[in-house]
């Protein structure tokens, strides 16, 4: 079953994570470096500021971070990738694009090229090799009707009773919002949940029940995420 025309990419996000003290935030916060980044990527906003939490809490540091918003990067002649933001934290660079995950790598390489000649007074690189990568993407998908097939009939009856939804077919629709996350057995559930580590599927805001449009967020590349949603659509249809 091909879902190519029914899945749309909202955006992709990747965190390049570094070892302690490898990323030199104080150097990156210099006005000359900020101006250079702003010019290369045509950012509309560039400031020394605390980045919004994405792949985890932002540690209190001085400077708090460097934030670049609303830019673009030319990958080839005439093709520009919209960059929603590039945020520098103490141990992390987060790149968010309005496009597939595949374009984040070239944007990051362009970033590294901009800072390739920059070194600290002790000779160490301002932007050394990263230690790990984390992925996140947001997609929409048009699923087959009767998503409630995924749930036990008895459960759906309980839900309808609790929500006073009436009988099926009485101009009401039970809209499921599904969330999954991993939890260690020997740890307590946290008060603050890292949404970037969750699989979320819920009705798309602005759509009607008859549209069968759903929003999905997952700690996956856009390609892998699309495969998962296509498999889910096949499961519902079967």
Contact by Cβ (8 Å): 101, 14: yes
Q: What pLDDT shows up at residue 168?
A: 63
Q: What pLDDT shows up at residue 163?
A: 84
Domain boundaries, the chain: 12-135, 138-237
Mark the ranges of the chain whose per-residue pLDDT is less than 50.
Answer: 1-5
Gap between the Cα atoms of 204 and 16, Å rounded:
29
Contact by Cβ (8 Å): 174, 165: yes
Q: Which residues contact 166 (CB under 8 A, 6 or more apart)?
A: 160, 172
* Each residue's pLDDT tens digit, 81-113: 999 999 999 999 999 999 999 999 999 999 999
Gap between the Cα atoms of 226 and 232, Å rounded:
10
How many other CB atoms sit within 10 Å of the CB of residue 208? 10
CA 221: distance to chain centroid?
9
pTM above 0.85, yes or no: yes
Q: What pLDDT shows up at residue 170?
A: 64
């Amino acid at each position: 079953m091909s879902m190519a025309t029914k899945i749309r990419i909202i955006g992709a996000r990747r965190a390049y994570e570094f070892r302690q003290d490898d990323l030199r935030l104080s150097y990156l916060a210099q006005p000359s470096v900020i101006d250079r980044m702003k010019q290369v990527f045509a950012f509309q906003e560039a400031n020394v500021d605390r980045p919004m939490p994405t792949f985890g809490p932002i540690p209190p540091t001085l400077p708090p971070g460097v934030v670049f918003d609303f830019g673009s990067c030319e990958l080839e002649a005439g093709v520009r990738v919209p960059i929603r933001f590039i945020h520098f934290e103490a141990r992390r660079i987060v790149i968010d694009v309005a496009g597939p995950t595949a374009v984040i790598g070239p944007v990051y390489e362009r970033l590294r090229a901009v800072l390739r000649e920059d070194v600290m007074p002790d000779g160490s690189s301002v932007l050394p090799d990263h230690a790990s990568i984390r992925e996140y993407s947001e997609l929409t998908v048009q699923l087959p009707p009767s998503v409630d097939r995924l749930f036990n009939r008895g459960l759906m009856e309980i839900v309808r009773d609790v929500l006073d939804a009436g009988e099926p077919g009485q101009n009401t629709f039970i809209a499921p919002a599904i969330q999954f996350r991993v939890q260690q057995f020997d740890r307590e559930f946290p008060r603050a949940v890292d949404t970037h580590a969750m699989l979320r599927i819920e009705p798309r805001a602005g759509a009607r029940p008859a549209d069968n449009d759903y929003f999905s967020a997952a700690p996956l590349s856009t390609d892998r995420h699309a495969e998962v949603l296509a498999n889910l659509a096949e499961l519902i249809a079967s």
